């Protein structure tokens, strides 16, 4: 019997925790968190532990497929890899010939491995690379950019040394990043205070010292009032504000009318609680973290909300402070060379992006773009036609509002190519499915983990693929070879790794002992001294010039949130500990633990409506409606209902998930048009839904 341990990277969600896998006779037997990775200590979440169930599951694409019937009909011709790659390459070539590289769009799950697919997009001559950010974290990212001149990832949360953590719209113990979970648990054990602001009592709220149940959508009012108290009572860090905040007067004027009493009327949180929280924070400052949010594609003012969270941190002096939001050093800051980028194998594409980012919307940065605006371009043909779409490990039909409308829009495409390891609504519509090996059966490019101790890490293939599937780099190389993109036509993963690591002082096998190499031994706290931010003033900018030029205030006045009419509720959505978005609902093990989602509904409201716990109710918005089981609780705000995202799948190839639970996306009426003009993200929760007894 042969036995080995392979260090690799979990792929059950976008977080990508380091793992170690016991492999016996060439088959994965057991996965645990990487024991050598500080912060992980062998731990995995329930989804990470269900990787083997996914690996052994036959209900995933097993070989390349070319569509036979109509789009979405589910009739497929099995193809060889040569046939499928030839087919895809020919279609891309044709799109390029007829419309130029810009006629091709690519969307990708994003994250640390995205350099590969970005390089392919650039090689194809297209500016149209997209991440899933416009439905996820783009507002907080743009908030950071507008304040500091860098993205949200440059600030690491130093939970370990924090004295008070505030989680607002952030459920760390169920919407999981294993390292962060461990760090917050450790912090709580060493006496750090936790305040949670949510519309419902989550597992995270259950561990909090203070839980503020807020009226859905009114968080920005709360934050303005917190700033009001900090400034009025002179509880803020004056020297930090003087040195670092550009536009303090403007901020002062903005928050002047926002008294705790005013905020109480909006948020439902007693004024005294607001004052007490501000006072507590001032006491613990600067070792304070007010989390600016992760999934921030919720409201019209989500960008302002994230900005206000950062500004609270600034007033408390916690930006750059130990125990606060510390600056994560780049490899260069540590005197090291960063990874060589695959993207740089090709010249930058000068063409304007189809979503208008960087041109029509000069305040936003290229990078992952705004996919919903590319869909708009698909609809209007403006600024130019998009004719080929590669969805790479991304399920836009499962993760965007109005999937029916989007499906119709896809009709105007000459080709939809889907690269995926699991079935998805998008793959079901594809002209060709290029099946990706599961993360345990493939290797990935080297990636950088940002943080206080940045590291390079590597996903290794733990076992050979069970089916006729390929790794991302093999698919990229296969397409590149056919499309004349020589620099990307790598033959082995080692060639890629050598290219990426050249000059860094590491070889790929130096990453094998632990699965990663840290670029420094000591977590450093560079602080703010000597720093000049990449903003016009060199400081944190309350008002950003780029937004002002577009006529968009950087911090709008608070716009009151309407009350839902009788029988209606504000739709709130999120994740649960047992599933990852839409792609684990058919996992045999996770499905067994949680086969469907339920609708959280306030108990008192339900009893007035004659609804009992466990009843199936009708939930409707506009034309859309469905049935879902209710879970009654006193711990959700009476104006809100909540459901876990990702359920209600309809694909015949997913026997377990099919027809189970309800899809939240169906309820987001006109949702592709609802987005935060200031931050760019979709406003998925600007939606009331009706709930009726069956």
Ligand X SMILES: Nc1nc2c(c(=O)[nH]1)N[C@H]1C(S)=C(S)[C@@H](COP(=O)(O)OP(=O)(O)OC[C@H]3O[C@@H](n4cnc5c(=O)[nH]c(N)nc54)[C@H](O)[C@@H]3O)O[C@H]1N2
Chain residues binding ligand X by CB under 6 A are 11, 13-15, 109, 132, 135-136, 168-171, 174-176, 197-200, 202, 214, 216-217, 219, 294-295, 298, 393-395, 398-399, 420-422, 424, 436, 439, 572-575, 577, 579-583, 642, 645, 664-665, 668, 684-685
Contact track, Mo ion, 634-673, x by CB under 5 A = ----------------------------------------
Q: Does 17 bind ligand SF4 (CB under 6 A)?
A: yes
Closer to ligand SF4 at the Cβ: 111 or 338?
A: 111
Closer to ligand X at the Cβ: 199 or 619?
A: 199
CB proximity list for 567: less than 8 A, separation 6 or greater: 609, 690, 691, 692
Residue 593: CB atoms within 10 Å = 12
CB proximity list for 111: less than 8 A, separation 6 or greater: 14, 16, 131
Closer to ligand X at the Cβ: 117 or 284?
A: 117
Distance CA 424, CA 393 (A): 9
Supply 68's token pair.
Answer: 């036979």
Q: Which one among 65, 104, 136, 181 touches Mo ion, defined by CB under 5 A?
A: 136
Say which entry of ligand X, Mo ion, ligand SF4, none residue 266 contacts (CB below 5 to 8 A, set by partner kind).
none
Among residues 657, 665, 682, which one has the least CA distance to residue 59? 657
Among residues 166, 163, 259, which one has the least CA distance to residue 212? 166
Distance CA 70, CA 440 (A): 33
Say which entry of ligand X, ligand SF4, Mo ion, none residue 684 contacts (CB below 5 to 8 A, set by partner kind).
ligand X
- Residue whose pair of structure tokens reads 């004295």 in the numeric block: 163
* Nearest approach, Cβ of residue 626 and ligand X (Å): 13
Closer to Mo ion at the Cβ: 45 or 136?
A: 136
Four-residue CA torsion sign, 621, 627, 628, 634: positive
Closer to ligand SF4 at the Cβ: 34 or 107?
A: 34
Four-residue CA torsion sign, 168, 169, 174, 178: negative
Closer to ligand X at the Cβ: 309 or 555?
A: 309
Q: Report the residue closest to ligand SF4, judged by CB.
A: 48
Say which entry of ligand X, ligand SF4, Mo ion, none residue 363 contacts (CB below 5 to 8 A, set by partner kind).
none
Say which entry of ligand SF4, Mo ion, ligand X, none residue 10 contacts (CB below 5 to 8 A, set by partner kind).
ligand SF4
* Nearest approach, Cβ of residue 171 and ligand SF4 (Å): 13
CB proximity list for 591: less than 8 A, separation 6 or greater: 585, 656, 657, 660
| Interface region with Mo ion, contact rule CB under 5 A, candidates 131-139, 506-514, 529-537, 595-603 | 131-139
Is-contact 405 120, C-beta < 8 A?
no
Distance CA 504, CA 509 (A): 13
Q: Does 682 bind Mo ion (CB under 5 A)?
A: no
Q: Does 152 bind Mo ion (CB under 5 A)?
A: no
Q: Does 13 bind ligand SF4 (CB under 6 A)?
A: yes
Supply 568's token pair.
Answer: 């209606």
Tell me which DSSP letter residue 364 carries.
S
Give residue 164's Cα distance to chain centre. Answer: 25
Rg, the chain, Cα only: 25
Residue 693: CB atoms within 10 Å = 13
Beta-bridge mates of residue 278: none
Closer to ligand SF4 at the Cβ: 45 or 251?
A: 45
Q: Does 452 bind Mo ion (CB under 5 A)?
A: no
**Footprint (CB under 6 A) of ligand SF4, residues 171-190:** 176-178
| Interface region with ligand SF4, contact rule CB under 6 A, candidates 7-15, 265-273, 287-295, 506-514 | 7-15
Q: In what order do the strands lie in the sheet with 447-449?
A: 447-449, 455-457, 516-518
**Footprint (CB under 6 A) of ligand SF4, residues 26-55:** 44-45, 47-48
Binding region for ligand SF4 (CB under 6 A) = 10, 12-13, 15-17, 44-45, 47-48, 176-178, 580
């Amino acid at each position: 019997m042969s036995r080995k341990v392979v260090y690799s990277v979990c792929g059950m969600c976008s977080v990508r925790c380091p793992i170690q896998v016991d492999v016996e006779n060439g088959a994965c037997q057991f996965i645990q968190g990487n024991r050598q990775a500080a912060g992980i200590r062998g731990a995995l979440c329930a989804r990470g532990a269900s990787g083997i169930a996914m690996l052994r599951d036959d209900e995933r694409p097993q070989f390349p497929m070319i569509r036979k019937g109509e789009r979405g009909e589910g009739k497929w011709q099995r193809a060889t890899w040569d046939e499928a790659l030839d087919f895809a390459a020919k279609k891309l070539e044709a799109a390029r010939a007829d419309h130029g590289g810009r006629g091709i769009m690519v969307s990708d799950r994003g994250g640390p491995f995205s350099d590969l697919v970005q390089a392919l997009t650039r090689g194809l001559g297209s500016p149209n690379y997209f991440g899933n950010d416009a439905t996820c974290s783009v507002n907080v990212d743009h908030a950071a950019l507008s304040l500091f001149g860098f993205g949200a990832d440059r600030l690491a949360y130093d939970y370990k040394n924090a004295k008070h953590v505030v989680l607002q719209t952030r459920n760390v113990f169920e919407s999981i990043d294993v390292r962060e979970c461990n760090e917050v648990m450790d912090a709580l054990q060493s006496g750090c205070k936790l305040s949670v602001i949510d519309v419902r009592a989550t597992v995270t709220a259950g561990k909090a010292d203070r839980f503020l149940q807020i009226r859905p959508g009114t968080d920005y009012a709360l934050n303005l009032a917190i700033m009001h108290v900090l400034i009025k009572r002179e509880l803020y860090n004056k020297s930090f504000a003087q040195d670092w905040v550009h536009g303090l007067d403007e901020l002062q004027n903005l928050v002047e009318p926002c008294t705790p009493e005013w905020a109480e009327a909006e948020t439902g949180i007693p004024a005294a609680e607001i004052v007490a929280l501000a006072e507590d924070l001032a006491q613990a400052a600067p070792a304070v973290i007010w989390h600016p949010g992760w999934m921030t594609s919720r409201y019209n003012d989500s960008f302002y909300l994230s900005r206000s969270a950062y500004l609270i941190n600034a007033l408390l002096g916690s930006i750059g402070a130990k125990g606060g939001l510390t600056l994560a050093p780049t490899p260069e800051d540590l005197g090291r060379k960063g990874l060589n980028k695959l993207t740089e194998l090709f010249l930058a594409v000068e063409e304007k992006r189809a979503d208008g980012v960087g041109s029509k919307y000069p305040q936003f940065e290229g990078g992952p773009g705004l996919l919903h605006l590319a869909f708009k371009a698909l609809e209007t043909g403006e600024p130019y036609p998009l004719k080929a779409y590669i969805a790479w490990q991304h399920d836009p039909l499962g993760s965007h509002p109005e999937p029916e409308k989007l499906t119709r829009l896809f009709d105007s495409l000459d080709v939809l190519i889907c690269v995926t390891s699991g079935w998805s609504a998008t793959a079901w519509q594809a002209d060709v499915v290029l099946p990706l090996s599961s993360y345990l059966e493939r290797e990935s490019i080297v990636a950088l983990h940002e943080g206080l101790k940045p590291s390079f890490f590597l996903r290794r293939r733990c076992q050979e693929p069970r089916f006729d599937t390929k790794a991302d780099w093999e698919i990229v190389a296969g397409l590149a070879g056919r499309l004349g993109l020589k620099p990307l036509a790598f033959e082995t993963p080692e060639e890629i790794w050598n290219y990426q690591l050249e000059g860094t002082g590491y070889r790929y096998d130096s990453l094998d002992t632990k699965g990663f190499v840290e670029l420094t031994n000591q977590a450093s706290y560079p602080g703010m001294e000597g720093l000049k931010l990449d903003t016009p003033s060199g400081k944190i900018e309350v008002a950003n010039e780029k937004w002002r030029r577009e006529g968009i205030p950087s911090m709008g006045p608070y716009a009151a949130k309407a009350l839902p009419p009788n029988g209606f509720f504000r739709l709130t959505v999120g994740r649960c500990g047992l599933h990852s978005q839409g792609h684990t609902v058919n996992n045999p093990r996770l499905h067994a633990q949680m086969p469907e989602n339920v609708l959280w509904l306030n108990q008192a409201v339900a009893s007035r409506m004659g609804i009992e716990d466990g009843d199936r109710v009708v939930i409707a918005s506009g034309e859309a409606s469905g049935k879902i089981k209710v879970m009654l609780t006193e711990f959700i705000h009476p104006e809100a209902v909540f459901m876990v995202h990702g359920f209600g799948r309809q694909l015949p190839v997913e026997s377990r998930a099919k027809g189970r639970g309800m899809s939240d996306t169906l309820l987001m009426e006109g949702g592709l048009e609802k987005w935060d003009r200031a931050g760019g993200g979709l406003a998925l929760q600007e939606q009331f839904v009706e709930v009726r007894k069956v």
